[in-house]
Chain A
Amino acid sequence: QKEVEQDPGPLSVPEGAIVSLNCTYSNSAFQYFMWYRQYSRKGPELLMYTYSSGNKEDGRFTAQVDKSSKYISLFIRDSQPSDSATYLCAIASTDSWGKFQFGAGTQVVVTP
């Protein structure tokens, strides 16, 4: 079993819709949760970072963490065609400081 599970998609939504992405993880030692966006043939860029259960909002992006269920989510409101990319969740623990476990990445396509 992979430590981090993420549906690879593709997920296709119309412009303006809410994009809902999620990951599940198996190790309760994970305490740091990140979401990265990766455009084709580019390196990942950090979107959201959190280390506690609950919601964290940044503009059109909301990250949600439920440690009891080992489930994390990313919501993108008012999606734009420029949001079309692959979104990767990344999780880390203090035991393996700096070593991230990445999800497979979900490809998102926002159609005009």
Chain B
Amino acid sequence: GAVVSQHPSRVICKSGTSVKIECRSLDFQATTMFWYRQFPKQSLMLMATSNEGSKATYEQGVEKDKFLINHASLTLSTLTVTSAHPEDSSFYICSARLAGVSYNEQFFGPGTRLTVL
């Protein structure tokens, strides 16, 4: 149980285009999902916290107009990188927290590798 999927697993796009990444909790409901970015040989950096039915909360330094997050249902959150540039190339990972539990556990997706040419 507690499986999180991401789609696509890899995407290559031209500079200036927008890319949408989906994060789904397959066998549980997630009121909260998190989006991370990971550069090579670096740790995960939290970008934003996404709560179902409300606006996402962005971390300091993350442009909300560039990284659009939508959490329309309890099993789906999307991250759209708008007008992507080569510096946005990174590994984007989402995680989901089980709804209705008191303990602090996140289940991570397999990640999406974005390459902007």
Q: Which residues of A contact B (CB under 8 A)?
A: 6, 8, 32, 34, 36, 41-46, 49, 51, 88, 92, 97-100, 102-105
Contact = CB atoms under 8 A, between A and B. Distances in A.
B68 to A, nearest CB: 20
Interface of B: 4, 6, 32, 34, 41-46, 49, 91, 93, 95, 97, 103-111, 113
Given A8-B41, A43-B93, A44-B93, A100 B108 contact: no
A104 B46 contact: no
A49 B105 CA distance: 8
A76 B113 CA distance: 30
Contacts of A51: 104
Q: Is the interface of B mostly helix, strand, loop or mixed?
A: strand
Given A98-B34, A98-B97, A105 B43 contact: yes
A49 B103 CA distance: 10
Contact of A46 (B32, B105, B111): B105
Nearest to A39: B110
